[in-house]
Structure formats: C-alpha cells, structure tokens
Amino acid sequence: MATRLRPVSVLFKYLTVCNASKKCTVIGGSGFLGQHMVERLLDKGYSVNVFDIRQGFKNEQVQFFIGDLCSKKDLLPSLQGVNVVFHCASPAPSSDNKELFYKVNYTGTMTVIEACKEVGVQKLVLTSSASVIFEGRDIKHGTEDLPYAKKPIDYYTETKILQEKEVLKANDPANNFLTVAIRPHGIFGPRDPQLVPILVETAKSGKMKFMIGDGKNLVDFTYVENVVHGHILAGEHLQKDSPLCGKAYHITNDEPIPFWAFLTRILIGLNYDAPKYLIPYWLAYYLAFFLSFLVFILGPLIKIKPTFTPMRVALAGTYHYYSCERAKKDMGYKPVVSLDQAVERTIKSYSHLRRAS
C-alpha cells in the first residue's frame, strides 16, 4: 500500500513546491505600480497576496491584508507560505513629511526584511528608483556602477537610497534569503494618479507655457507594463549563484525621449496646447533658487510650498537617462511595450481628461 502511494505523495510534494514558488505578496499592491503588478502576476498563474494600508481595488482572486508595513505584527500573516515578496510601497514623493519618508522607506523596509526572514520568504524584490544616482546634473546612459547621489534631489530620494542599501545588504544566500532592487524611472501609464492628471491640471490653469532649457534634454519615461515585466523577471531569475543576488537593475523603456517632447505628445493627444516658449536653464534655475531662498526667509511668517523649485527645474531641464544593459544581460529584459504604443494607450486611458474641441 505504502509503495503504491509513494508516486502520488511525490507528485503532491512537487506540486506543493511549485505552488509555493508561485505564491507572492505585493507590499504596496493597492498603488499605481502595485495594482499593475498584481494583474500581471495573476495572468502568469501566481497566487497573490496584497499588503497595503488601504484597499485600492477589489479582486476575488487576491487576498488582501490591510496594515502598516512598519509593523511586523501586521506584516507576518501576509507573508506566510510565500516564496517571493515584491516591495513597492512608499509615501507619495510629493509629501513633505520627512519623518514619514524615514519611517516607511527606511525603518519600515528593515521591518519588511526582518519579517521575510522570520517566516522563511526566499526572495525580496524592491522597487527602488533610478534617481538614487541623480544629483541634478546630466546623466547620459547612466549605468548601475555610478555611485549613489551624495546630494540627492530631495529627502524622498535620500530615503530611497537608504532603503536600497539595506535591501541589497540583506542578501544572504547561505541562509536562503536573496534580494534584488529594480530602479525604474518616470513610470507612466493608465491609472497613474500623478503624471498625466498633474500635467492636465497645469495646462488647464494656463501654467504650461514655458520649456526649461533648449527642449533637447533626453529623459527616460517608462511604461508601467515594462516596469512590471522587469520586476517579475527579477523575481524569477533571482536564484542562488545568479548574478542578480544583492544587485540593482535599471529598468527603462530603452527609448530616451526629450523631456518636453514627451509632455507635448501627451498634451496634444489630450487636446491641450503644448508649451511654446523657451526659458534658458540657468535663468530658470536661479529664479527657482531665489524663490526658495525667499520662502526660507519668510518661513517663520508665512507657510508657502512653491512648486517651482531648483529640483523641479533640474528634473525638467537636464539629461537623465539610464542604461538597462545589465538587466538585458542578466535576466533577458526587453521592453514589452514600445514608447509609441505606450503613449497611445496612456492617452486613450485618460480620455475623460480630454479637452473638448
């Protein structure tokens, strides 16, 4: 009897191992990138848990765990029996709450690492950012070998650096815990609450008249499905002795485009006027610098949060595009949606924001 049952029990064990390796948790799965990750993972046959402080959508195939990633007690139930964790939670970069950035991105990520180790999660894939190497000066075809920014463009990015360092340091093949960081840049696509809605708002308010610089500076804008593809490939290629262990990878559309040409395509596609006038980069930068200085001086008297800051000028007026050769070589990455298709799909998905003719 026992001998007749053996093949069945071996098959059962094999299926259990296969199922476990396809069981994942997406931390931040209610967000823009997170929700796209969940949809693609389900398509690929993964069983998916979402851990987030809010439930952003409903899907009967997904098990939701609502909690704060800074609490190990909240996290643990969502990680039971899971093989791979995708950590793409963060406070919005537009927040000016430094304490929150530090708490969630840095100490919270250390809690995620601890919780993963405690329950025996084998792989952790972090969503970092290509901006961890950007200091407001031109980067052309930047590789992952460039050092972390000594003067990051903002506090959010400073905590993304701290977070990435901790995750990569935690890679520990001897104890069966492997880590990798994905660095996307300028994610866009359907349901993004930031880029297109803010662009349209700015155009509507008549503030989208000037291009900073000569309009030629190339930047990476990365379609959300390509970012998702990079994360899933990373999760699947992250194995003991693979080159991915403890490394960071740029994921882009591999088609850098002039910053202002990209915005113009979206604006024209939604029937808004594109910016027409050029303002020299140095002039915009010093104006923004002067404005920040004024805000600092007047700080004790009035609270103003300017949107025209030196950091925003640098983001709009410098070259910053990144090489994804390492991802191509180590995990066979190739964008799955071209920039033309991506722009077309994005414009279509925001038809409700289109200006009536």
Chain residues in the site for ligand NAD (CB under 6 A): 28, 30-34, 52-54, 56, 68-70, 88-92, 104, 108, 127, 129, 160, 184, 186-187
The nearer residue to ligand NAD, 67 or 120, going by C-beta atoms, is 67
Question: 213: closest CA among 329, 355, 341, 313?
Answer: 313
Active site residue 156: yes
What sign does the CA torsion over 351, 354, 356, 357 have?
negative
The nearer residue to ligand NAD, 78 or 83, going by C-beta atoms, is 78
CB of 296 to ligand NAD, least distance (A): 27
The nearer residue to ligand NAD, 111 or 171, going by C-beta atoms, is 111
CB of 12 to ligand NAD, least distance (A): 35
Q: How many CA atoms lie within 13 A of 1 on its CB side?
A: 0
The nearer residue to ligand NAD, 198 or 294, going by C-beta atoms, is 198
Catalytic residue from among 14, 46, 106, 156: 156
Distance set, CA 148 to CA 101, 132, 144, 254, 344 (Å): 18, 6, 9, 21, 34
Distance set, CA 254 to CA 33, 35, 84, 335 (Å): 19, 23, 27, 7
Structure tokens at 118: 């405690």
Q: How many CA atoms lie within 13 A of 157 on its CB side?
A: 20
The nearer residue to ligand NAD, 129 or 179, going by C-beta atoms, is 129
Query: What Rg, from alpha-carbon coordinates, does the chain have?
Result: 22
CB of 128 to ligand NAD, least distance (A): 7
Question: 266: closest CA among 151, 346, 208?
Answer: 346
Quick one: CA torsion of 61, 62, 64, 68, rounded to 10 degrees? -170
Who contacts 231 (Cβ-Cβ below 8 Å, separation ≥6)?
Answer: 37, 86, 88, 125, 127, 182, 251
Instruction: Please give the full DSSP string across 123-142, using - where no structure is assigned.
Output: EEEEE--GGGG--SS-EEEE
Distance from C-alpha of 175 to C-alpha of 119, rounded to nearest angstrom? 12
First to last CA, the chain: 77
The nearer residue to ligand NAD, 4 or 54, going by C-beta atoms, is 54
CB of 206 to ligand NAD, least distance (A): 25
- Active-site residues, by number, are 156
